[in-house]
Amino acid sequence: MSTAVSERTLRQATPDKTPSATPALVIENVRKEFVRRDGTKVPAVDNISLRIEQGEFVVLLGPSGCGKTTLLRCVAGLEDPDSGTITINGEQHYSSGNRVNTSPDKRKLGMIFQSYALWPHMKVSANVAYPLKVRGVPKSQIRDRVMNVLELAGIKELAEQYPGQLSGGQQQRVALARALVSNNGLVLFDEPLSNVDAKVREQLRFEILKMQSEIGFAAVYVTHDQDEAMELADRIAVLNSGKISQLDRPEAIYDRPADRYVAKFVGATNEINGVVESLGADGAVVIKTEAGQIDALLGEEGITVGDTVCVIGRPERFELREASAAGAKNEWPVEVRTTMFMGDHRGAVLRAKGWGEMRVHFPSSTDVEPGGSLAVALPAKFARVYKPSSR
Amino acid sequence: MTTTDTKAETDTEAPGGLDDIDAELAMAVVASPWARVVARARRGGWFSVLSVVLGLVFAILVIYPLVRVLIQAFFGDGTFDFSIASEVLNYPGLGQMLLNTVILVASSMVLALFFGALFAWLMERTDARIGRLAALMPMLPMLMPAIAGAIGWVFLLAPQAGFINAIIRAVLDFFGVHLTSGPLDIYSWTGLIALYTAYQIPFAFLMITTGLRNSDASMEEASRISGASLRHTLMRITIPVLRPSLGAAALYMVWFGFSFYSVPVVLGTQMNVKVLPVEIVRLLTFTYPSNTKVAVGLSIFLIIAIGTAWYFQGRILRSNRHSSIGGKGQRNSITRLGKWRRPAQALLVLYFALTFVFPLIAQILVALNGYWTTAIKWSALDITRLWSGITANSQASSAFGTSTLLALIGATIGMTVAAIFALYLREHRSRISRVLDGVIKLPAALSAIVIGLGFVLAFAGPPFNLGNTLVILLLCYLVLFLPQATIAADAAAAQVDRQLSEASWVSGAGNARTFARINIPLMIPGLVAGWGLLFVWMTGELNASVMLAGTQTPVVGYYILQTFQFGGFATLASLALGLTVLNIVVLSIAHFIEKRTTARGI
């Protein structure tokens, strides 16, 4: 996780994204329906509103089919929404009320496609020069600007190559350069790293952040990869069936998910069902489960005594300890099934009464023997309570 | 279960079927289709408007003549009556003519399917494969148009003056058998069926080859390993798996056979064997005054025959839906034929010689000699005469020039329109654009005879008065071959990832610029290949040309027929040869450009 640390420092170096300036992108009540073959209408984007400040990096995170790519394509103008408004840098580009709907070439965006979409019949330099050329930038400037951005992307020496001669990572840099060479400060990313291997992906994430801090563009980044989202985002919008389930900083999304869907989508979870026994101050609750009483925190509003709920704990929040004779609160004796060495941590599959099989992470420097008698404990602040099915 | 693997969950939660088609369907539903098309077109700029307008223009060009044919058929005299029906049904020799046509189509279909399948199997699954010939085989009807081939075979097998007959007679003479004519006769049912078959084999070969390539040879291997014999495997596995391809080939042959004009007009007229397409053209073009009513009435038989074939084709495809063939692109195993390998290869070479080399030699001989005789003075052959049939004859050279010009213009317009429309269709799959696409592809499902007839009815007379002009020929060629052009353009467009044009659009380029700078350059290999085919089809077009061309606007096909009827054999040989050479040159150039542009790493 060393890269993550350096990115954080980088991010702090960028100027504050103050809401006072004209936002880079304002999406209001955008809705887009698809009709299935059997005639039922499915809202791919269901009245989404989102405001992205200048220089802000927002990641749209969700499983395939949640509407994140559709929303991005609506912003680009490649897809027509059914209703709502889309305003880019204070300029309205789509409005169902005002009957405004500009074509993509009028929106002055940069966009990076999943397939990179480099034009195979043009050299790298021509690919990058294209947005400048079609926007009527004087020839004298084009070459300098192209070389500058290629240098920034670290591929200056590839200018005279054709895309077919490049590796996946290099192609991705060209696509990045092309998107950045001419835009009005808003760049759209459509799952750009899903086609490169893990090592290159990590490197490119880092460079995207570096370039963002140097140039200072706002970004809307679509992905289904939570690690990618965590690493890149100022804010993450977790999408579920066309709606934003939660929009917040990565730490908040992870530690305080808004509902069970977000909790389960971002990071791994252990779950147990129970009934609310009592409500205390500051959201403290006691839940009665098959594993006994659990002290926990309310994860969302609208839960009262007697409700059936779901207690969720993340694998690394469980503490592994010797089984104490008394059986303390929030502690369960476990039977070790298997352990897995994962490099930076160890994973164990345990069996506990009421929980069934649970997964727990602990530092890789410690080890446990299968069959040993141990216990795990979950501090109350990490046991979060949600309605069993959110929405 | 209390532990959740995040990624596995995301995959199962994805609602299926939210693809582009659904999106476009949604559009068609949400607003009225026309309003949507107009709105989208306006948003896409003038280029989208152009695409829609082109689509509309060609849809009208297809529909209007067909409507005229139907009106003429049922309301010939302004009122709905059955007078045409009775006139057609009482037409002398109707039964015999229909019977002739059906016998020819059915017998040649069976033979062509057999040989086509045999050749395809030899080339795809055995060591008798001859690589170059396999690539050439489907192209044969384009290299030498049927009309040129048929005339070549008349030169070879005419009872008196046929070269092969002369050779056989000379040999027999040596053994003391004296004949004055024959022994073989191209003007016979055998000759007729043989030529029908020869010209259908390439299509059967192409479709069955495709079927074999898409089917997994391991299915056959599994059958052999399970203990089945080669024959049993063929009957139980190979043929059932190929049923869709065989069905498609059979359909194509019905379509082709019922409108096949060149061979029956060359042979049948002499034999007094009437077939449907020849009779329709004769009634319309070579009778005075022309009997349009009966010609139109007869064309209904054509439409019925082809329509029936389409119906059964649909049934075959539907009944085979379950047998989706899952070729994983493994290397297909090759059956070793052993001692049969050489004979099999000889058979393949023989077919090539019979359909291409021999007729070509006959054409060259007649052209070189200056007239058609079996008593060739080898010392007097004159190489300059090879083309003199075209160059020395002003009508022939103007026919050749006109055809080349029409094909150049027609192929270029056709491919451009097809490319524009293919791209439009890809980005805007609204209901309207799909209907337009269907209408534009309709001529491929109809006979060129019917289309030509429709064009005569619709555009030759007032108010258009396009009869005897190049315009009517050009329009008819475009309508006839636009289906093939759009299929080629669709394939070319499918090679270009949609995101490539979207990237250009987002970069600030409009539709027209994206078309010119991104799509066209990337589609060039496919478009050039399509252009070559279009050119060849247009120069060799006979069915509609015969009805639409006149003395003012001679085209090669029309002029070859005229010459054949009046017997200028040297000119005929030159023309047939010229057409063959032109086709070979154009297709070679197209192939070369296609290879070069593809090799550039696109």
Q: According to the model, what pLDDT value does residue A19 have?
A: 54
| pLDDT over 70 at B318, yes or no | no
Residues of A within 8 A of B499 (CB-CB) are 113-115, 117
Hey, where are the domains in chain B? 1-90+383-602, 94-368
Q: Is the pLDDT of residue B17 over 50?
A: no
Domains B1-90+383-602 and B94-368 share a fold: yes
C-alpha torsion angle, residues B347, B350, B354, B356 (rounded to 10): 110
Dist CA B451 CA B444 (whole Å): 10
Contact A178 B509 (CB under 8 A): no
Which of B162-176, B215-229, B399-413, B566-580 reaches the highest mean pLDDT?
A: B399-413
Contact B86, B94 (CB under 8 A): no
The A residues from 212 to 251 touching B (CB cutoff 8 Å) are 224, 226, 241
Do A45 and A243 contact (CB within 8 A), yes or no? Answer: no
Alpha carbon distance A329, A292 (integer Å): 9
Question: Least CB-CB distance to A104: which of B25, B497, B506?
Answer: B506
Residue A39 main-chain phi, psi, to 5 deg? 100, -15
- The residue assigned the tokens 């005299």 is B77
pLDDT tens digit sequence for B138-175: 777 778 888 888 888 888 888 888 888 888 888 888 88
Position A390 pLDDT exceeds 90: no
- Average pLDDT score, chain A: 86
Q: Does B375 touch chain A (CB under 8 A)?
A: no
* pLDDT bracket for residue B320 (50, 70, 90): low
> In this complex, do A121 and B522 lie within 8 Å of one another by their Cβ atoms?
yes
**Residue A350 belongs to what H/E stretch?**
strand A345-352
Mean pLDDT over the full length of chain B: 78
Structure tokens at A218: 């706002």
Distance, CA of A312 to CA of B3 (rounded, Å): 10
Q: How far is CA A88 from CA A26, A75, B118, B251, B414, in A?
A: 6, 9, 64, 56, 41
CATH of range B1-90+383-602; options 3.40.50.2300, 1.10.1040.10, 1.10.1660.10, 1.10.3720.10: 1.10.3720.10
User: DSSP code of A1?
Assistant: -
Pick the residue with more confidence: B297 or A189?
A: A189
Distance CA(B126)–CA(B341), nearest Å, equals: 8
**B183-189 mean pLDDT:** 85
Where are the alpha helices (H) located in B3-130, listed in sequence order? 6-13, 20-30, 33-44, 46-74, 83-89, 94-125
CB < 8 Å from A in window 37-76 of B? 40, 43-45
Q: How do residues A69-89 score in pLDDT, each as one tens digit?
A: 999 999 998 888 999 999 999
Q: Report the pLDDT value the prediction gives residue A75, as an integer from 0 to 100.
A: 94
Structure confidence at residue B319 as a pLDDT band (50, 70, 90): low
Nearest CA in chain A to B25: A35
pLDDT at A229: 93
By the CB < 8 Å criterion, does B503 face chain A? Answer: yes
Name which of A126-130, A178-182, A195-199, B598-602 the model is least confident about: B598-602
Choice between A282 and A18, residue whose per-residue pLDDT is larger: A282
Q: List chain B residues with CB under 8 Å of A271.
A: 2-4
Q: Between B382 and A335, name the one with better pLDDT.
A: A335
The answer to whether residue B94 scores a pLDDT higher than 90 is no
- Is the pLDDT at B21 greater than 60, yes or no? no
- Give the amino acid at B43: R
Three-class secondary structure assignment of B57-85: HHHHHHHHHHHHHHHHHHCCCCCCCCHHH
Residue A50: the pLDDT is 94
Residue B15: its chain A contacts at CB < 8 A?
Answer: 42, 65, 241
Distance CA A301, CA B414 (A): 65
Residues of chain B in contact with residue A35, where contact means CB-CB under 8 angstroms, are 22, 25-26, 29
Output the pTM of the full model: 0.74
Tokens (6 digits) for B264: 């029956």
Residues 116-175 of A with CB under 8 A from B: 117-121, 130-131, 134-135, 162, 164-165
Q: How confident is the model at residue A187 (pLDDT cuts 50, 70, 90)?
A: very high
CB contact A99 to B (< 8 Å): no
User: Is the CB of B4 inside 8 Å of chain A's CB atoms?
Assistant: yes
**Mean of pLDDT values over B70-82:** 69
What distance in Å separates the CA atoms of residue B84 and residue B75, rounded to the nearest whole number?
A: 9
Of chain B, the end-to-end C-alpha distance in Å amounts to 50
CATH 1.10.3720.10 fits B94-368, yes or no: yes
Highest mean pLDDT among A2-16, A146-160, B41-55: A146-160
Interchain CB distance below 8 Å, A82 and B497: no
The position carrying tokens 């350096």 is A6
Q: Is the pLDDT of residue B121 over 90?
A: no
- Token code pair at residue A298: 């309310």
B505–A contact, CB cutoff 8 A? yes
Residue B600 to chain A, least CA–CA distance (Å): 8
Residue A233: Cβ within 10 Å count: 23
Distance CA B470, CA B554 (A): 9
In this prediction, residue B27 carries a pLDDT of 40
ipTM comes to: 0.78
What would the two tokens of residue B175 be?
């053994």
pLDDT in tens, A209-224: 988 888 889 999 999 9
pLDDT of residue A11: 45
- Cα B392 from chain centroid? 32
Q: Choosing among A33, A34, A243, which should be mutated to test the B contact, i.e. which has the most B CBs within 10 A?
A: A34
**3-class DSSP state of A167:** coil
Is the Cβ pair B509, A105 closer than 8 Å? yes
Chain A from 303 to 322: CB within 8 A of any B CB? 315
- CB within 8 Å: B3 and A270: yes
Under 8 Å CB-to-CB from B181, ≥6 apart: which residues? Answer: B159, B160, B165
Return the residue matching tokens 């009805």.
B547
State the amino acid at position B438 in one-letter form.
Answer: G
Residue B150's Cβ-side half-sphere holds a number of Cα atoms within 13 Å equal to 26
Residue pLDDT, tens place only, B447-462 = 788 888 888 888 887 7
Q: Is the pLDDT of residue B196 over 50?
A: yes
Rounded to whole angstroms, the Cα distance separating A297 from A128 reads 52
Q: Which of residues 221-260 of B touch A (CB under 8 A)?
A: none
CA distance A174 to A128: 7
CA-based nearest residue in chain A for residue B28:
A35
- Tokens 């990641």 map to which residue? A59
User: Could you tell me which of B33, B68, B197 has the C-alpha nearest to residue B455?
Assistant: B68
Q: For residue B232, give both structure tokens.
A: 């049993």
